[in-house]
Amino acid sequence: MLGYKGPFESFKEAKERADIAADKLIEIAQSQDKIVLFGHGFMNRYIRKSLINKGWLLNEKSNAYWGITSLES
C-alpha cells in the first residue's frame, strides 16, 4: 500500500474493529451521561454505522474535516 511493505488490516477486519469499538462505546455509555470520541474519518464513519445499526439515533452528522457527529442511545 502506497509503497509500504508489511501486513495491513483488510477492509473487513477494519469494519470488524469498528463494530468492536461500537460495542465498547455502548458499554461505556451505560455508566456515563456523555462520552466523546476523537478518531479518523474512516473509523468514525463505520463506528457511526454500527451504532445506528444497534439502535442508536443520529442527531447530527458532518463530514467536514473537524466535523461533529452526535448520536444518542
Count the alpha carbons within 13 Å of 24 in the hemisphere toward its beta carbon: 9
pLDDT per residue as tens digits for the range 57-67:
999 988 788 88
Domain boundaries, the chain: 11-72
Query: What gap in Å lies between CA 39 and CA 51, rounded to an integer?
Result: 15
- Report the alpha-carbon angle 40-25-63, nearest 5: 35
pTM: 0.83
pLDDT per residue as tens digits for the range 29-63:
999 999 999 988 889 999 999 999 999 999 998 87
Query: What gap in Å lies between CA 26 and CA 21, rounded to an integer?
Result: 9
